[in-house]
Structure 1
Amino acid sequence: MNTWITTPITAELIRGASEVERTERGLLPHRLPARARAQSPDPQLAMVEAQPSGVRISFRTRATAIELDALATRRTYAGLPPRPHGVYDLIVDGRLTDQGDVPGGNTLSIDMATGAVDRQTGPMGTVSFTGLPDSLKDIEIWLPHNEATELVALRTDAPVAPGTGDSRPTWLHHGSSISHGSDAASPSTTWPALAAARGGVELINLGLGGSALLDPFTARTLRDAAADLISVKIGINLVNTDVMRLRAFTPAVHGFLDTIRDGHPTTPLLVVSPIYCPIHEDTPGPGAFDLEALRRGQIQFTATGDPAERAAGKLTLRVIRQELARIVTQRAATDPHLYYLDGLDLYGEADFAEHPLPDQLHPDAATHRRMAERFARRVFAGHGAFAAHGTRRVRR
């Protein structure tokens, strides 16, 4: 029988979060700071920033058994089968060793036709990992990337000490739901997490599903974060939310990059354009759920704009790629640490033929792996933007 040691879960044990909020039950990791959260009333943003993509509990221990109590908040969609529970990945000395999930939890039932949300409360649950080697090892428990998670208690059968990941360079990445990890198999197998592992860097994932909209508070969050390497993936959310035209897009990108540079004047900064997505390549937004597919019990997305509206400045993915390439070329003349990566190099038209986007918008688990491999090869290796990264962290 195990003799359990309960270790308080503190910010010192949590990596990848901007800050943690003390709740009635425990700690809720946030990926945007309170000041940023206060500047947007958008419930979509509130939901996704509290989903801890890239956030993990990190410690060293000889423990052979670990238990984590947590309270999940999960989404379901009216008329569709329940979504699988979020996955907890156990990483031991850098290798994925085990997986589990937490029963119970709160439920947000979303009616996609009306936008109505019904919240049901549920109990806390426990995920357990046993049979670990009786030796000193580095442990990371990656929290589910697609459900909010309140951390309640950590128990082990041996003492724990904070992890040692600080010696690695920190990569700060911002993007849309694709970077957040939509349809990835688990939190450590989103494309940014896999690319970070290949690159030997510490990941802070600011992928915000549906919310990569060049918001000033997001730029300030990037500006103020400790980082050795920064990337921003821009485009798909600007098209499928139809929030701006080309006239506003260009200065908004400049302003976003200017703000990041205020805090990181010489940090390698990579701008990544959108991956291939047929519904929005030449058709503007807004994007919408395909109602016919919903009636069949499937989630599919469609573009509702008119290609002729490009003449009036409506954005498409092709337009955004061209403009981002032009902006980066212009700025790089005076910013030698600014780089550009065409998203089609990560996932292009030929890839779509082999691995179609299941819902016409988000890549599947196999495509996350392909994107990670290509990003690591193009960015972390050879003459890539991050290949010669240093180890000194830039802090404000």
Structure 2
Amino acid sequence: MSFAAQVKIPATYMRGGTSKGVFFKLDDLPERAQQPGAARDQLLLRVIGSPDPYAKQIDGMGGASSSTSKTVILSKSTQADHDVDYLFGQVAIDRPFVDWSGNCGNLTAAVGSFAISNGLVSADRIPENGLCTVRIWQKNIGKTIIAHVPITNGQVQETGDFELDGVTFPAAEVQIEFLDPADEGEDGGSMFPTGNLIDELEVPELGTFKATLINAGIPTIFLNAEDIGYSGTELQDDINNDAEALAKFEKIRAYGALKMGIIQDVSEAVSRQHTPKVAFVSAPKTYTSSSSKVVEATDTDLLVRALSMGKLHHAMMGTAAVAIGTAAAIPGTLVNLAAGGGARESVRFGHPSGTLRVGAQASQENGQWVVKKAIMSRSARVLMEGWVRVPGDSF
């Protein structure tokens, strides 16, 4: 009996923000995986080690969490005035599914670094020392992102003293600008798809909840923590070990997606796990983070907990942080009210691993709220580079 040999594919394993994933150049992929479709999805599933009924991804590069089950495909940009096209694939852990419906804001921090180091940014745009401005076209959502990557002696600088809660070691700061972050590409519609800053979200058998439904960074459903039986200080184990709670959040997410017009029937939510996100907010409280650091109530403007791929995130998704910053800047949303209300251009929120500051400038144009830019700082680092190997008959 003969078996297919393994194939080698150039790849880089990178941390970006509080996530990590496998990065590829588009033209390094096997030819049949250079186009969207089953071959590409099967390849990425095998690289990451999914689907895995044990939910450990032992036979792949995944790390058994939504934050570490990620893939990125990059190429020279086809868009004018952009350097690199960025395509993100969120790989399910226990199902044979790659979700292409949204961006990963955390891994965005690594896109600029990878693009510079791998020849996707023109040499004349890279300073010998200083900041390299990388213009990124985010293909999943059709948006422009600007990354300011530090350069030392012509090379990407990865080490530094910038500390990011949720990441153990300090690194170089990378500032990310999300331009026109509202209105998520394929889904169309306005920043607030229902036209309301706060909606009454009816969820059969669970009740009716006040919710802010927003398209900014990534479609997100914000709830008040107290309305759903939480304080806002919860850590991962408080929710992720509670099957009933996870089922409750998934049902809320499905009906929120329906109200936002993202899906046409609640049954479709199961095949669209990456979007929308569901999060809950509360006023500041003192709590102990997952690293045992005490976060004082005075350290934050509000508390936020968010779920990704069906589990409470260990820190905060970068795209959800954009949604938080945007909603906080608009008086009257649940996020803004939890932060004390009124106008603001930045917010520092508490998450399970600590705190994060994000800025956004909102204004009204023709009676509609618009946000031109959301800004936050992350960091990124190459963990390993070389080749990944997968059986030749697996895709």
* Structure with higher strand content: 2
Structure with bigger helix share is: 1
Structure showing greater relative contact order (alpha-carbon pairs closer than 8 Å, 6 or more residues apart): 2
